């Protein structure tokens, strides 16, 4: 190989090396493209999407249950009583608790479904419920009292008995122990007096 050709090859090699070094890696491109504001937004989105200790409070409800129910159509009259079963399970890696209920109400087959979770932005437990007894949603939100092991909620629902489109109510989920819990709903009458509407007692089957 003559000296002239050898020199040309060396120059081409150096040029190629310099060009390659000037091309940023894929990671470098991403880092440069994601400015501090975007990085902060991504961090917030990840935090919002991550289940935490608040979600773990709901873990005690996971499983199969038997329930006894009392429902008051008129607070001045004795409640109607019934029995049923519930299956509660996690959705989306521990972010939402799905509740499925079956039983009988007023001698008719009953089915219902609810979703409960903890909203990291609202910093509240949020839930909704729907069942075969209506065509509307029962929606609520609230907080957990670790001292009494109670989730205390307030919300609204359609009320077929009064015709109200958004009947306000108060509800409490009380953890008795790992195998027992209760759920109670209270509503206010036109005179502001609070009365029970529904009371459920749960016993773990599995």
Task: Based on the fold, state whether residues 8 and 92 are members of the same structural domain.
Answer: no
Model pLDDT for residues 99-114, shown as the tens digit of each residue? 999 998 888 899 999 9
Closest C-alpha to 151, from 54, 48, 64: 54
Task: Based on the fold, state whether residues 171 and 125 are members of the same structural domain.
Answer: yes
The full length of the chain comes to: 206
Question: Is residue 150 within 8 Å of 174, Cβ to Cβ?
Answer: yes
Task: Based on the fold, state whether residues 17 and 80 are members of the same structural domain.
Answer: no
Q: How many CB atoms lie within 10 A of CB 127?
A: 22
Is the dihedral angle over the CA atoms 29, 34, 35, 36 positive or is it negative?
A: negative
Task: Based on the fold, state whether residues 14 and 116 are members of the same structural domain.
Answer: no
Task: Based on the fold, state whether residues 173 and 194 are members of the same structural domain.
Answer: yes
Is the dihedral angle over the CA atoms 144, 147, 150, 154 positive or is it negative?
A: negative
Task: Based on the fold, state whether residues 89 and 110 are members of the same structural domain.
Answer: yes
Q: Kindly report the pTM of this predicted structure.
A: 0.79
Task: Based on the fold, state whether residues 133 and 74 are members of the same structural domain.
Answer: yes
Question: Is residue 189 within 8 Å of 195, Cβ to Cβ?
Answer: yes
Task: Based on the fold, state whether residues 39 and 82 are members of the same structural domain.
Answer: no
Model pLDDT for residues 124-172, shown as the tens digit of each residue? 999 999 999 999 999 999 999 999 999 999 999 988 877 788 889 999 9
Task: Based on the fold, state whether residues 43 and 61 are members of the same structural domain.
Answer: no
Please give the pLDDT value at position 76.
85
Q: Give the residue from 18, 33, 48 where a domain finishes.
A: 48
Model pLDDT for residues 41-57, shown as the tens digit of each residue? 888 888 899 999 999 99
The domain containing residue 35 runs over which residues?
A: 3-48
Closest C-alpha to 172, from 147, 143, 137, 195: 143
Number of domains the chain contains: 2
Phi, psi of 42 (to 5 degrees): -65, -40
Mean pLDDT of the chain: 86
Please give the pLDDT value at position 106.
82
């Amino acid at each position: 190989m003559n000296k002239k050709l050898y020199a040309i090859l060396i120059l081409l090699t150096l040029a190629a090396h310099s060009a390659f070094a000037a091309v940023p890696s894929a990671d470098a491109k991403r880092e440069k493209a994601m400015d501090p504001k975007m990085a902060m937004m991504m961090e917030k989105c990840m935090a919002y999407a991550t289940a935490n200790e608040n979600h773990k409070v709901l873990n005690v409800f996971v499983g199969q249950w038997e329930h006894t129910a009392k429902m008051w159509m008129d607070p001045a009259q004795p409640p109607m009583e019934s029995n049923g079963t519930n299956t509660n399970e996690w959705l989306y890696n521990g972010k939402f608790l799905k509740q499925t209920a079956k039983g009988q109400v007023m001698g008719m087959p009953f089915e219902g479904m609810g979703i409960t979770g903890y909203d990291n932005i609202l910093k509240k437990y949020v839930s909704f419920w729907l069942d075969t007894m209506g065509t509307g949603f029962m929606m609520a939100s609230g907080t957990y009292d670790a001292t009494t092991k109670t989730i205390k909620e307030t919300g609204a629902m359609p009320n077929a008995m009064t015709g109200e489109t958004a009947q306000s109510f108060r509800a409490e989920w009380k953890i008795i122990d790992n195998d027992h819990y209760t759920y109670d709903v209270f509503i206010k009458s036109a005179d502001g007096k609070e009365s029970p509407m529904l009371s459920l007692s749960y016993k773990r089957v599995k």
